[in-house]
Amino acid sequence: MDAFAIRGGRPLAGRTRVYGAKNAALPILAATVMVEGISVIQGVPNLEDVHVMIQILEALGADVVFERDEVRVDCRHLANTSVPADLMRRMRSSIFLMGPLLARFGEVVVSKPGGCVIGQRPIDYHLRGMRALGATIEEKHGYIRCTANRLYGSSITLDFPSVGATENLIMAAVLADGVTVIENAAREPEIVDLVAFLRKCGADIEGAGTPVIRVRGVHHLREAEHRIIPDRIVAGTLLIAGAATGGCVAVEGAVPEHLGAVLQKLRDAGIRVDVDGSVIAVDGRDGYKAMDVRTDPYPGFPTDLQAPLMAMLTTAAGTSVIRENVFEARFRHVNDLLRMGADITVDLRTAIVRGVPRLYGAAVEATDLRGGAALVIAGLMADGTTRIEGLHHIDRGYEQIDVYLRDLGADIARIRI
């Protein structure tokens, strides 16, 4: 088993480059099963979740080659429509196979997906939407079998703008008969990227990035090449780490508009933020103050950066109030931050963070992906040595985070324990 050993207290400094977004790459790789040809996807991050998605595609009968940051997926001879349960459990994004397989073959068997434990994370919107498109759904012994002779365009209104349900339903609707309208759709940049890929393949979709998405079904999808958008959550994590350590960090290759709410919050805390084209720089040398933050669907402050920002605010002057509006149980990192000397009280979806002068190194364990990133940031901020276990959670979403941070001057090592 691996752990990170971090000697904290060094301000990060320098330039780094962000890679492709996990949360865009995963649905796009799943969408390739609808293409009866070869899809070429570039800018794919080398992450555990991407490897699981490739294993799923191979189990379905696809030929997949992953070289450097390019994945070539040949789905001409796809034969299997059941996603193995052990792979389903490995990540939330396994559910993205539901829409595409149903669309292409009229049948799919999945089971409850895994992923970060940050709330109940049901899939009822996905299933309700598939039913609205004409699918029959049987749930037995933990398996979910969806079938349809044909899918038909329909009107679907989501109770909450779910990212995954919006993506799954767009994919199911792409090959359906007629027009599907998804209302209260999620607007995240990753959805816009999925739609950009599908449109290159010949799909007829309008409204991505707005709350109303219209999909007019087409007969088939053709081969296409696509480059994944940069990972706004990784970019945000590195910028927050830079500011939290009182350092100066520039992240290249980002899309600043995707980070609007995040950059605004950093500025609200008194951190200097400069944007020059695709380079975002933060300067935290003058320190920062407490502030209130609420997570919301895009374009609001992303829930995936709530934990990293909380780590930063543990030593801010004053009291911060953090409200988590997207997931009902996304504060599991708090216990370990307390172990490191933070002063935080949680009441359901609200965390009150009273700034303390400093954090202290401790032995802690990541229990989910972004909570793990928060512990890394806390370790970089803390006096003394922090040992972080549970690295598989962090590796699901950050490509060699230790290497990136070392390049910025951090004293972090991956050790075998």
Ligand X SMILES: CC(=O)N[C@H]1[C@@H](OP(=O)(O)OP(=O)(O)OC[C@H]2O[C@@H](n3ccc(=O)[nH]c3=O)[C@H](O)[C@@H]2O)O[C@H](CO)[C@@H](O)[C@@H]1O
Ligand Y SMILES: C=C(OP(=O)(O)O)C(=O)O
Binding-site annotation, residues? 22-23, 92, 304, 326
- Cβ closest to ligand X, residue 92 vs residue 258: 92
- Cβ closest to ligand X, residue 253 vs residue 300: 300
Tokens of 358: 């400093």
Q: Establish if 124 lies at the interface with ligand X (CB under 6 A).
A: yes
Number of residues that bind ligand Y (CB under 6 A): 11
- Least distance CB 254 / ligand X (angstroms): 17
- Cβ neighbours of 142 (radius 10 Å): 9
Instruction: Mark the segment that binds ligand Y (CB under 6 A) among 39-47, 77-85, 91-99, 185-193.
Output: 91-99
Instruction: Mark the segment that binds ligand X (CB under 6 A) among 2-10, 122-130, 197-205, 269-277.
Output: 122-130
- Least distance CB 174 / ligand X (angstroms): 18
Q: Which of 75, 83, 123, 269 binds ligand X (CB under 6 A)?
A: 123
Burial of 273 (0-12, 13-18, 19+ CB in 10 A): buried
What's the alpha-carbon Rg for the chain, to the nearest Å?
Answer: 21
Q: Which of 91, 102, 208, 241 binds ligand Y (CB under 6 A)?
A: 91
Amino acid at 212: V
Q: How far is CA 102 from each of CA 59, 61, 148, 338, 410, rounded to the nearest angstrom?
A: 16, 16, 7, 46, 47
**Closest alpha carbon to 194 in 28, 372, 400:** 28
- Cβ closest to ligand Y, residue 39 vs residue 295: 295
The structure tokens 């990753």 sit at 190
Window 142-171: contact mask with ligand X (x via CB under 6 A): ------------------x-xxxx------
- Least distance CB 49 / ligand X (angstroms): 8
Amino acid at 357: P
Contact in structure between 274 and 280 (CB atoms under 8 Å): yes
Window 353-392: contact mask with ligand X (x via CB under 6 A): ----------------------------------------
Q: Establish if 92 lies at the interface with ligand X (CB under 6 A).
A: yes
Q: Establish if 240 lies at the interface with ligand Y (CB under 6 A).
A: no
- Cβ closest to ligand X, residue 21 vs residue 382: 21
Number of residues that bind ligand X (CB under 6 A): 22
Window 150-189: contact mask with ligand Y (x via CB under 6 A): ----------------------------------------
Beta strands in 233-356, from DSSP E residues, in sequence order = 248-252, 272-276, 279-283, 293-294, 319-323, 343-347, 350-354
Window 9-28: contact mask with ligand Y (x via CB under 6 A): --------------x-----
**333-337 own/partner pairs: CB under 8 Å, 24+ apart:** 333/307, 333/367, 333/368, 333/370, 333/371, 333/372, 333/374, 333/375, 334/310, 336/362, 336/364, 336/365, 336/371, 336/375, 336/378, 337/310, 337/311, 337/374, 337/375, 337/378
Whether residue 248 lies in the annotated active site:
no
**Closest alpha carbon to 244 in 299, 314, 193, 187:** 314
The structure tokens 């950093």 sit at 266
Of 271-330, binders to ligand X (CB under 6 A) are 303-304, 326-327
Of 365-384, binders to ligand Y (CB under 6 A) are 369-370
Q: How far is CA 126 from each of CA 160, 178, 309, 367, rounded to the nearest angstrom?
A: 12, 19, 30, 26
Amino acid at 10: R
Residue numbers in the known binding site for UDP-N-acetyl-alpha-D-glucosamine are 92, 304, 326
**14 phi/psi in degrees, rounded to 5:** 130, -170
Reduced to 3 states, what is the DSSP secondary structure of residue 67? strand
**Using CB atoms, what's the residue nearest to ligand X?**
164
126 binds, among ligand Y, ligand X, none (CB under 5 to 8 A by kind): ligand X
Q: Which of 14, 122, 287, 318 binds ligand X (CB under 6 A)?
A: 122
- Least distance CB 223 / ligand X (angstroms): 25
Residue numbers in the known binding site for phosphoenolpyruvate are 22-23
Burial 35-46 (b: 16+ CB within 10 A, else e): beebbebebbbe
What's the sign of the alpha-carbon dihedral 258, 238, 372, 362?
negative
Q: Establish if 116 lies at the interface with ligand Y (CB under 6 A).
A: yes
The residues carrying an active-site annotation are 116
Q: Applying CB under 6 A, which residues contact ligand X?
A: 23, 26, 92-93, 119-126, 160, 162-165, 186, 303-304, 326-327
